Amino acid sequence: MRVPVTEHTTLPQLFLARIHDTPNGRAFRQHHPDPGMSKDARRGRWQDMNWAEAGREAGRWRAALRTEGLRAGDRVALCMRNRIEWILFDQAALSLGLVVVPLFYNDRAENMAWCMNDAGVSLLLLEDGVLWRDLRAQVPTLIRVVCINDAPAGDETAVAASAWLPARGESLDEGPARATDLATLVYTSGTTGRPKGVMLSHRNIASNVSASLDAVPIVNAEDVFLSFLPLSHMFERTVGYYLSMCIGASTVFARSITELPEDLLSQRPTMLVCVPRIFERIYARMQESLPPGSFRRRLFDLAVNVGWRRFAGQARPGDALLWPLLDVLVARKLRRRLGGRMRLIVSGAAALAPQLSRTFLGLGLPLLQGYGLTEFSPVVSCNRLEDNDPTSVGRPVTGVEIRTLGDGELLVRGPEVMLGYWNNPAATGAVVDAEGWLHTGDMVRIEGGRIYVVGRAKEIIVLSNGEKVPPADAEQAIMLDPVFQQVMVVGEGRPRLGLLVVSGLADERALCERANAQLRNFPGYARIYHIARIAEAWTVENDLLTPTLKLRRNRIEERFAREIENMYRSRDLCRQTR
């Protein structure tokens, strides 16, 4: 049964209501490697925890936090992969009125330190104590570091969680926080500059949970979520954690992205919170296994086309006879790879390329695209199963107002709008106006109540002839060719577009041909004329991707400035391939 949410509801109240309503319902499932084996070992066992057990364990974490002398409003951080302890720490801290600061577990130590110093963090929970060696000298405000794995020896600040947690905890209560109080500081990964701390209240998040559930009312207590997007990102945290808790569904924590295919098969989730990069990887693998011109490729393309026509209400005579066979031979195999029970997949954080939507919807996946941003807690809009236009990001969720400025920038307003940026009133004033409208920076058109994203105000390349190119659209199209591992379009202020490429294919002329083949339906000025193949992959660790796998465009351009200049000076390989 769904926990009712009002304007006065806090996140601890949601948790306590769930424990009261379904104490024996399965809350979480986590994999534990066999003793003595490495943490990455595949052998081991899955262990369940029900809601009553989760409440008792959170009571232990609460009791331990209380011994540190923290006061309501103090900031505490955590840095770990998705796991049960993330939830227990979060709930314990919130119940004491503390402000939770999540850090992305694969981020660089200096970025984590900057965020913690900016927030004035007093306590840090780490999965791996080794990281503390890199952080020790950078965060002087920390009074305690708790490590899930062994703590570094000889440091009085650091302690192992097993020694820090008491054998018995204390009873949970809703604590001192009010709905309007600050619940969390979420540092935006930002494609440029230092991250900003987004201040979200209990009301912000609880309102977004309720509005999101109104948009997807099929979610119920029997559903199983598979959690693999970082909980440090509000998309996974709101939709994959708080929403799941509100409805009483269970959550399985995936072991890793590498083992995600196995976990999908073994755990058979019914709900998935996803980002386009996952679909790009699946699509690339499918294309690699389907040689051009082969019978298997023709059969696959036929299944996608027939399935898409059925989805779009444009079925032709004979499609009804063809589909049952195509479903068995093609579509059902894909759905089995995702566990065979999938009832809903919500894709967000970035736009899904049209070809990917067509492919996966055509093959029968219940895929909905949505739109949001951290500053809105985060869901603004999404499609509905009964009203699904995959070229849009759907209609606003309950209680959300939308409008556009003259240039097409989307403005949103509702109870989910952040309290502001931490210690940064100037930045807050630049995005939240006096009437409470949040200026998203995204360029859209609104038709029939649906939102269609057409570009990012700050991510438009303006060529020297005045032509404007949204680079993300071109990059999405190019990435549909599996030969490209990563790409970034450049060309601001230049006469023509260039392309930075990470690829196993060394022939730059061939890369030009393949890139422009993917851009054949784009305007003539949106063609690649210059190319540079980059040997170094772009990752979160080398600070070229955000934690949500978006390109840090400015940093990539800075890192490879010499390669960009050289490719614009060199012979125009791409012009000869058009």
DSSP 439-457: EEEEEEEEETTEEEEEEET
* Inside any domain, residue 243: no
d(CA 543, CA 538): 8
Distances (CA, A) of 367 to 287, 304, 350, 360: 20, 14, 14, 8
Looking at residue 266, what is its pLDDT? 95
Q: Is residue 231 part of a domain?
A: no
Q: pLDDT at position 458, please?
A: 62
CATH number at residue 108: 3.40.50.12780
Asked, for residue 164, whether it belongs to a domain, the answer is: yes
- pLDDT confidence of residue 154: 78
User: What pLDDT score does 520 carry?
Assistant: 84
pLDDT, position 367: 95
**Quick one: pLDDT at residue 192?**
47
Last residue of a domain, one of 181, 205, 229: 205
Domain boundary among the residues 176, 205, 234 is at 205
How many residues make up the chain in this entry? 578
Domain boundary among 160, 184, 205: 205
CB 29 within 8 A of CB 251: yes
Instruction: Indicate the number of domains in the chain.
Output: 3
Same domain, 423 and 468: no
Predicted pLDDT at 577: 47
The predicted structure's pLDDT at residue 515: 93
Q: Tokens 């997949």 appear where?
A: 345
Joined tokens for residue 104: 């992305």
Helix (H) or strand (E) holding 528: strand 528-533
In this structure, the answer to whether residues 336 and 376 fall within a common structural domain is yes
Domain that holds residue 427: 276-340+342-456
Splitting the chain (578 residues) into consecutive groups of 10 residues, what average pLDDT does each group show? 94 97 97 64 82 97 96 97 97 98 87 93 93 89 92 86 94 94 88 78 98 95 95 94 97 93 95 86 85 91 95 92 94 92 90 86 94 95 94 95 91 97 94 95 92 78 70 87 93 87 91 91 81 91 82 89 86 57
Check whether residue 24 and residue 168 sit in a common domain.
yes
Same domain, 485 and 507: yes
Residue 41: the pLDDT is 46
Residue 146: how many CB atoms within 10 A of its CB?
27
Q: Are residues 432 and 531 in the same domain?
A: no
For 231-267, b/e burial (b = at least 16 CB within 10 A) is bbbbbbbbbbbbbbbbbbbbbbbbbeeeeeeebbeeb
Strand partners, 76: 100, 123
Name the phi and psi angles at 538, rounded to 5: -95, 125
The domain that holds 567 is classified in CATH as: 3.30.300.30
In this structure, are 405 and 532 located in the same domain? no
Q: Are residues 430 and 358 part of one domain?
A: yes
Which residue intervals of 22-108 are DSSP H helices? 51-66, 84-95
Q: Do 363 and 383 reside in the same domain of the chain?
A: yes
Residue 228 lies in a domain: no
Listed residue (102, 100, 108, 110) closest to 138, CA to CA: 110
* pLDDT at 572 (0 to 100): 64
Q: Identify the pLDDT of residue 540.
A: 84
Q: Let me know whether 415 and 476 are in one domain.
A: no
In terms of domains, do 36 and 172 share one?
Answer: yes
Question: Is position 485 within any domain?
Answer: yes
State the virtual CA torsion across 149, 155, 156, 161 in degrees, nearest 10: 0
pLDDT reported for residue 288: 84
**Nearest of 246, 248, 249, 253 to residue 228 by alpha carbon:** 253
The pTM (predicted TM-score) of the whole model is: 0.82
Other CB atoms within 10 Å distance of the CB of residue 321: 8
